[in-house]
Chain A
Amino acid sequence: MGYGRGIIVGHWVTLRRFLRTFFIGHGATLKRRGGGHQLFDLWPGKKKRGEEPTVQQDATTEGLFTVEYPDERLPVYERFRVLPVLVYDDSDGNVRCTCCNICAKVCPPQCIWMTHAAGPDGKPVPLPEDYYIDMDVCMNCGLCSEYCPFDAIKMDQNFELSNYERHQSHIFSLQDLLVSSEFYANTHPEAYASDEQVVERGKVAKKKDQRLQKALGVGAKPASNPKPAAKPAATPAT
């Protein structure tokens, strides 16, 4: 008995699964849970980049599971990390990086390289002149941003980085890496508002002016000790 029964049961499993998308858990509302395109949303207008509906899936998700990238997207979690970026401050346009080299020291595959900027007198000042990240080596581990004492290097969330060429475009220089602090505050609201980072920013802000003076060679004292300047802030790193 039962030739073909398995096939019918199999189809029922599939159909049941489809129907559960809409009917199970929160009343029969013909609505798909978690957001995204709905059942009667057959011809959704093409949303602009960044405005696509986000599909949030969790323990209650049943049935249809597909997130139709690029028309729908998965939520980007704040800690989601792809490549590092360097943050500059909106208020004055200064790079936060002091070229202390800690990110390069903790980088597991050794993809971060930088050189000190030199002041007018030729002495090094705590600012990066060159800053390179080879994204063909970077392993997106986030250690650089975790151990940066100046809140200068952060992990970006942009994953849409595909391109047709690598020899010119995959080594990111300082210019490619810079993002504004406002951008960072938008992508990482929780971290930006966290106590540690607020304290950190306060500290860095004080240091920043001194550095700028030094870089411009305005200060009477020549930039003889960039390292001690970096040290005190390095210790209270979180």
Chain B
Amino acid sequence: MSTPTITRPEWSTVIDPVLQKELEQHVLVTTWDKLLGMVDTVYNWGRRSSLWPLGFGLACCAIEMICTASSRFDIARFGAEVFRGSPRQADVMIVSGTVTKTMMPMIARLYDQMPEPKYVISMGACASGGGPFKEGYNVVSGVDKYLPVDVYVPGCPPTPQALLNGLIMLQKKIDGERFTQAPWYRGEVERDIPVPVLGPDLIDLRLLEITAERTAQGLVEAREETLEKPPIIPAPQPEVEEAPAEAAPAAPKAPSKLDLIRAKSAAAAAGTEAPAEAAEAPKPAAKPAAKPAKKVKKAEARPSLCWLGDAGLKELNDRLNSKFGAGTSTIIQAALLIPADKLVAVCLYLRDENTIKYDYLASLQSVHFEDCIEVNYQLDSTINQGKLIEVRVRTSQVEGEGEVPSLNSVWRGADFQEREVYDMMGVKFTGHPELKRILMWDGYSYWPLRKDFLEPYYEGPTKVFDSRCEDGRHFRAEEFNPYGSNTKIPKGWNGWGELDPGDDTKGKTLLPSGVEISELGTDQFMVSMGPQHPSTHGVFRMNLRVDGETIVGLKPVMGYMHRNHEKIGERNTFLMNFPFTDRLDYLTSMGNNFGYALAVEQLMGDDSKPPERAEYIRVIMAELTRVASHMWSIGFLLNDLGAFFTPALYAIEERELILDLFEWASGSRMMCNYFRFGGVAFELPPGWIERCRGIVNDRLDKKIDELDRYLTNNEIVGDRAKGVGILTAEQAINFSMAGPVLRGSGVSYDVRRAAPYSIYDRFDFKVPVGKTGDMFDRYIVRLEEMRESVKILKQACKDIPATGPILAGKKTYQIKVPAGEAYSRVENPKGELGYYVYADGSATAYRYHVRSPSFINLTALEQMCLGHSIADVVGILGSLDIVLGEVDR
């Protein structure tokens, strides 16, 4: 094909047509438009090559965003490495992760503060449309409901490469913009968005009238009446042989629909001795109508895999009854039921005088039954480890009437957990110093984890939901809700006039009282730090009271990333919940999977014992996770101490190599979803174990030593970390601290040793402990723990059977879980991760609770920070190593 040429007769010069076109476009300026076009080119080129993102991370996607900025992906190549802490200096807001209602006003405010021209990248499924958490009651279904979004990056989470792809798309978009039509040079364009208000729910002020109108009509309540409600089962009762008189008040008025479930739980209450034939015999609620119920298999009654044992519990029960009077303690499903008025006395006895001193409150959660709300406590001893017991206390289930004495005076670690129970179920804890909502905001209308609360997008008690696809059309969940968004406001609510966008509903009630420092004659004032702050490791906020530079009071404000994990977990079938556990502590998804698998396997019993090879794979994955997480943690601790990003870059490299292994085996870098009940999902790919051995045997030790060499004797690290944020051993135990924080204070308590799970009893490793319990000790403990993990990994990689099954039984999605109660504990990198599962024999968990180490470790934050300066608070928070996905769940 020959190119046609144009011959100009005057000069008879041959000009290439392409060149001519180029000349006309760029050199021979003929029109004003074209001149401006040239300006556009330069103008856009300048802007596109220096997009400064707002240093702003919401959830899991933020971790991938940080990885994008780190050494492997290096967003600096696009001129976007200057992550700005202040919105005033930023060009692009990367909305990285789940947008919650609690956080939405902050996001809107940040957006308004950004100068024009400004762009928004919506990163991940959650930011785009609510994602997997869409059905949660505290999640906004897409940030585009409030902000104008320029680029959507799908994926959950998008890999760093996908984010870079989104950035390139944004650059292309900027390339297409015209200088003359730029909206930010036209005064009449109003781009600010009104800040939504946290009232009874998140209220968009632009839709105030229509919201008020629909609330008055009670459309939500009308819709809910047509839907099937979640079942509510009666609480388990003591075995009839022991205490027949103590049967709960029968509730015979309930509809017959629930009979089946009620019978199931009656069977569940039958106890331990005769699990097979006891299904019919004891019926505490005296319901003869429960005949047609089919027998539900019951799990062995035990609070956890490693516990005191039936005999020990019986003895303890008798001792309590003889000491505090008969009827003090009753054994129900291998746990002690204590009347509320004797709870504090009994717990003090258990802590101080009992033969096994239960000084450690492992976990605390509540279950909503038909006849009561039960709060149960898992207690362990740090001296005589692994002798876990469970204590129950029951109170009225009527909304707003439940009252239980606070155990805050016995174990300070109960503080936040009791507030969480109050927040989620409305149980009041008498004697609690500050009983306020912790995850939601004061003023929110509902108690979300009560069984009778239905989320705005509620469709049914369990998945699978009804089809959203009809007549060749697909419906989104929004279209079912009368408000068209994830909103639910009680019918009678009538405070529309008082909604104020300037109001800080979430944090204004949580103000630290502080202490007086007499020698300094300065005024005290409040500083609100977070939730958008580069060094709070996510959307965490602290209300600080400072006297000059000195902290005299601190109140954590959290819930900015409350994604309703537990409520969604009660709708999920057991299998479906796996990928959700990935997103708890998103730096340690394998460890989260591990804990959850163990909880359900405890209920399933020996049927689901993982084969040998699977156990090894699990341990390898969990320990690789620990190394990756501690690498991240140490890198970012240094970030917080002022060594901005360089140590993190070195540490993240090793993490990336470990993530490669995860991606290779499971298919995803972060959200591995690799464990299954009774094993793991896939066989290791060929060559995997060799590369893993290469990294474990030849590389990790060297890199840990390198980190050690650079940091441990560093003068600045020493100055900033030694003697700061001290927590003594007694305090650490009393505050229910876990993981490296507890061990940093000198308490040798590691769940892998205290209550060995899986095959950890086979490996030779030490439990490193610190001496003083300061920041430096916590750093050292993490460093040493990585060495111990590598030691375990070396043994596991050596001993792993070359072949063999990786899953007990057949692979099926229909998981049958016997009725019962389980609390599993694993030593996650952040500390003891516990899963409490109450199963009623159906396809979903009746109650599902996560004991999250990050959340409980924050209880002691004020204690550690008092007397230090704001700069130290950042470091202390870094040394706690919290992950907000787990704090707020």
Residues of A within 8 A of B (CB): 13, 57-61, 65-70, 73-74, 77-83, 102, 104-110, 113-115, 129-130, 132, 134-143, 146-147, 155, 159-166, 170-171, 173, 190, 237-238
Other than A57-B72, A110-B135, give 13 A-B pairs with Cβ distance below 8 A: A59-B698, A59-B699, A70-B161, A79-B666, A105-B464, A106-B813, A108-B572, A109-B132, A113-B468, A139-B671, A161-B162, A163-B154, A166-B129
Task: Give complex CA distance A79, B668 in Å.
Answer: 8
Task: Give complex CA distance A161, B125 in Å.
Answer: 12
* CB-CB nearest in chain A for B125: A136
**Chain B 669-693: CB-based contact to A (< 8 A → 1; otherwise 0):** 0010100000001100110000100
Known A-B contacts A58-B695, A109-B132; A140 and B74 likewise in contact (beta carbons under 8 Å): no
Task: Give complex CA distance A136, B578 in Å.
Answer: 19
Identify 13 residue pairs between A and B in the complex whose beta-carbon atoms are under 8 Å apart, listed by A's number: A58-B660, A58-B695, A59-B691, A77-B664, A79-B667, A115-B470, A136-B142, A138-B132, A139-B125, A147-B812, A160-B161, A164-B150, A237-B812
The answer on a CB contact under 8 Å between A138 and B465 is no
Task: Give complex CA distance A161, B465 in Å.
Answer: 28
Known A-B contacts A58-B694, A106-B813, A113-B468; A79 and B665 likewise in contact (beta carbons under 8 Å): yes
Known A-B contacts A59-B699, A65-B71, A66-B71; A143 and B165 likewise in contact (beta carbons under 8 Å): no
Which residues in B have their C-beta under 8 angstroms from that of A79? 663-667, 682, 685
Q: How far is the CB of A176 from chain B (nearest CB, A)?
A: 12
The answer on a CB contact under 8 Å between A162 and B682 is no
Does B284 belong to the interface (CB within 8 Å)?
no
Task: Give complex CA distance A82, B159 in Å.
Answer: 9
Known A-B contacts A140-B155, A162-B162; A70 and B168 likewise in contact (beta carbons under 8 Å): yes
Specify which of A60, A129, A162 is in contact with B165 (CB 8 Å cutoff). A162
Q: Which 4 pairs from chain A and chain B are nearest by CB?
A: A136-B129, A59-B694, A141-B579, A113-B469
Task: Give complex CA distance A110, B463 in Å.
Answer: 8
Q: How far is the CB of A106 from chain B (nearest CB, A)?
A: 5
In this complex, which of B464, B698, B812 has the most chain A Cβ atoms within 10 angstroms of its Cβ? B464
Task: Give complex CA distance A238, B676 in Å.
Answer: 14
B residues 124-151 near A (Cβ < 8 Å) are 125, 128-135, 142, 144, 149-151
Known A-B contacts A166-B152, A170-B154; A108 and B472 likewise in contact (beta carbons under 8 Å): no
* CB-CB nearest in chain A for B122: A166
Known A-B contacts A79-B682, A137-B125; A159 and B813 likewise in contact (beta carbons under 8 Å): no
**Chain B 24-43: CB-based contact to A (< 8 A → 1; otherwise 0):** 00000000000000000000
Looking at chain A's contact residues, the main secondary structure is loop
The answer on a CB contact under 8 Å between A115 and B467 is yes
Does B206 belong to the interface (CB within 8 Å)?
no
Task: Give complex CA distance A190, B74 in Å.
Answer: 32
Which residues in B have their C-beta under 8 angstroms from that of A109? 131-135
Specify which of A69, A73, A170 is in contact with B128 (CB 8 Å cutoff). A170
Task: Give complex CA distance A109, B569 in Å.
Answer: 11
The answer on a CB contact under 8 Å between A69 and B668 is no
The answer on a CB contact under 8 Å between A110 and B465 is yes
Task: Give complex CA distance A109, B667 in Å.
Answer: 18
The answer on a CB contact under 8 Å between A160 and B165 is yes
Which residues in A have their C-beta under 8 angstroms from that of B667? 77, 79-81, 142, 155
Which residues in B have their C-beta under 8 angstroms from that of A13? 710
Specify which of B122, B161, B579, B668 is in contact with A143 (CB 8 Å cutoff). B579
**Chain B 154-169: CB-based contact to A (< 8 A → 1; otherwise 0):** 1110111110111011
Task: Give complex CA distance A120, B664 in Å.
Answer: 46
Does B257 belong to the interface (CB within 8 Å)?
no
B residues 565-581 near A (Cβ < 8 Å) are 572-573, 575-580
In this complex, which of B72, B152, B165, B685 has the most chain A Cβ atoms within 10 angstroms of its Cβ? B152
Q: How far is the CB of B476 from chain A (nearest CB, A)?
A: 7
Q: How far is the CB of B159 from chain A (nearest CB, A)?
A: 6
The answer on a CB contact under 8 Å between B131 and A137 is yes
Task: Give complex CA distance A59, B702 in Å.
Answer: 11
Which residues in A have their C-beta under 8 angstroms from that of B173? 164
Known A-B contacts A69-B164, A74-B161, A166-B144; A110 and B464 likewise in contact (beta carbons under 8 Å): yes
Task: Give complex CA distance A238, B806 in Å.
Answer: 12
Total count of chain B residues near the partner, CB < 8 A: 81
Which residues in B have their C-beta under 8 angstroms from that of A130? 469, 472, 474
Task: Give complex CA distance A129, B667 in Å.
Answer: 30
Residues of B within 8 A of A (CB): 71-74, 77, 122, 125, 128-135, 142, 144, 149-156, 158-162, 164-166, 168-169, 173, 463-465, 467-470, 472, 474, 476, 572-573, 575-580, 582-583, 653, 656-657, 660, 663-668, 671, 673, 681-682, 685-686, 691, 694-695, 698-699, 710, 811-813
Specify which of A115, A141, A159, A190 is in contact with B155 (CB 8 Å cutoff). A159
Known A-B contacts A59-B691, A65-B653; A139 and B156 likewise in contact (beta carbons under 8 Å): yes
Which residues in B have their C-beta under 8 angstroms from that of A146? 681, 811
Which residues in A have their C-beta under 8 angstroms from that of B665? 79
Task: Give complex CA distance A93, B134 in Å.
Answer: 36
Specify which of B122, B154, B576 is in contact with A83 (CB 8 Å cutoff). B154
The answer on a CB contact under 8 Å between A115 and B469 is yes
Q: How far is the CB of A4 from chain B (nearest CB, A)?
A: 14
Known A-B contacts A13-B710, A136-B131; A108 and B161 likewise in contact (beta carbons under 8 Å): no
Which residues in A have their C-beta under 8 angstroms from that of B71? 65-66
The answer on a CB contact under 8 Å between A162 and B694 is no
In this complex, which of B133, B578, B664, B813 has the most chain A Cβ atoms within 10 angstroms of its Cβ? B813
Which residues in A have their C-beta under 8 angstroms from that of B134? 109, 136-137
Which residues in A have their C-beta under 8 angstroms from that of B152? 162-166, 170
Q: How far is the CB of A192 from chain B (nearest CB, A)?
A: 14
Task: Give complex CA distance A59, B77 in Å.
Answer: 25
The answer on a CB contact under 8 Å between B710 and A114 is no
Specify which of B149, B155, B468, B469 is in contact with A82 (CB 8 Å cutoff). B155
The answer on a CB contact under 8 Å between B579 and A137 is no
Specify which of B153, B159, B580 is in contact with A108 (CB 8 Å cutoff). B580
Which residues in B have their C-beta under 8 angstroms from that of A171? 474
Task: Give complex CA distance A135, B125 in Å.
Answer: 7
* CB-CB nearest in chain A for B657: A57
Task: Give complex CA distance A224, B686 in Å.
Answer: 45
Which residues in B have their C-beta under 8 angstroms from that of A115? 467, 469-470, 472
* CB-CB nearest in chain B for A128: B469
Specify which of B149, B160, B165, B474 is in contact with A132 (CB 8 Å cutoff). B474
Q: How far is the CB of B217 from chain A (nearest CB, A)?
A: 27
The answer on a CB contact under 8 Å between B579 and A108 is yes
Which residues in B have their C-beta under 8 angstroms from that of A143? 575-576, 578-579, 673, 813
In this complex, which of A61, A142, A170 has the most chain B Cβ atoms within 10 angstroms of its Cβ? A142
Task: Give complex CA distance A108, B580 in Å.
Answer: 8
The answer on a CB contact under 8 Å between A163 and B169 is yes
Q: How far is the CB of B753 from chain A (nearest CB, A)?
A: 30
Task: Give complex CA distance A136, B149 in Å.
Answer: 14
Which residues in B have their C-beta under 8 angstroms from that of A65? 71-72, 653, 656
Task: Give complex CA distance A160, B649 in Å.
Answer: 25
The answer on a CB contact under 8 Å between B657 and A59 is yes
* CB-CB nearest in chain B for A79: B667
Which residues in B have their C-beta under 8 angstroms from that of A140? 125, 155-156, 668, 671
* CB-CB nearest in chain A for B715: A6
The answer on a CB contact under 8 Å between B132 and A139 is yes
Task: Give complex CA distance A65, B883 in Å.
Answer: 26
The answer on a CB contact under 8 Å between B73 and A66 is yes
Which residues in A have their C-beta under 8 angstroms from that of B72? 57, 65-67
Specify which of A58, A132, A141, A162 is in contact with B154 (CB 8 Å cutoff). A162
Specify which of B154, B160, B660, B682 is in contact with A161 (CB 8 Å cutoff). B154
* CB-CB nearest in chain B for A173: B474
Which residues in B have their C-beta under 8 angstroms from that of A170? 128-129, 152, 154
Which residues in B have their C-beta under 8 angstroms from that of A82? 154-155, 162
Which residues in B have their C-beta under 8 angstroms from that of A159? 155, 158-159, 161-162, 165
Specify which of B144, B161, B468 is in contact with A73 (CB 8 Å cutoff). B161
Task: Give complex CA distance A211, B754 in Å.
Answer: 58
Which residues in A have their C-beta under 8 angstroms from that of B668? 80-81, 140, 142
